[in-house]
Amino acid sequence: MRSTARSGAATHDGAALHFLFFFSFLPPALAFLTSYLLPHSVWGTRHLIVAAAPYMMLAAFALSRARTVWMKRSLLALLCCWFFLAGVLTLARREGTHVWCAWETLAAPLARAEAGEARPADIYAFEDLVAYHLWFALGVEPGRFRVSVVKNVPGLPEDPAYFLPRGFKEVALKDASALEGERFRVAFRDTTWDEGREPLKLLRERGYRVEQVFETTAQGQRAFLVLVSRASQTPP
């Protein structure tokens, strides 16, 4: 009877281990592989949180099965020290506002500045994630703003890890030729204000001048939301 019970327990433990291994390591492995095969990455680190719970259970299972008492106690003490150190570092080194979230901060003054305008305001961003955040932050008033993302502007790097959702039509995709018109806004991030760098250099070469600048700082960078108009135009 004891032999049968032990055999059954071993079988159950083996199945549990296979289950935990499967859900701990298969999702990251599949995300890594498909991200290289597909045109865009799939899943971000926050989506892979599905693997965190089975991994923690697997670690706890391994710790409980340590062969000697001194090893189990040593590993447990080391783990507690690691958690304590991680907590202290997290409290001491608080991250500031992510630069992507800065656009929500700038959306409020933009909405006030455009209040009462008859025509929708055009806003051109140069990164997918910037355009997406602006669209989301300004979406409370549909029709007042037209957000576009301008691609392939020389001198403006873009992180390909961030992209608009597939089939998403609310943000128009355009190229540099779209930067036309008498008056519009551009959204970009940089470490400093420099009219000798893109996109300000491009706009100046096309005869635009800066009328108004909204800006904020986050993660050592500056987020700019700039109103430009034709140099021949009189400021309102």
Task: Let me know whether 78 and 130 are in one domain.
Answer: no
Last residue of a domain, one of 92, 107, 127: 92
Last residue of a domain, one of 60, 92, 124: 92
pLDDT per position as a tens digit, 134-192 = 998 887 667 789 999 999 888 887 777 677 776 788 899 999 989 988 999 999 999 89
Q: Is residue 236 part of a domain?
A: no
**In total, how many domains does the chain have?**
2
Note down the domain range covering 167. 99-230
Nearest to 141 by CA among 107, 171, 165: 107
Asked whether residue 197 is domain-assigned, the answer is: yes
Beta sheet of 208-218, edge-to-edge order: 172-175, 145-151, 121-125, 183-190, 221-230, 208-218
Looking at the fold, whether 67 and 180 belong to one and the same domain comes out as no
- The pLDDT of residue 223 is 92
Q: What is the pLDDT of residues 113-122, one digit of tens each?
A: 888 777 889 9
77 and 116 both lie in a single domain: no
HEC string for 65-88: CCCCHHHHHHHHHHHHHHHHHHHH
Give the rounded distance of the alpha carbon of 37 from its chain centre.
Answer: 21
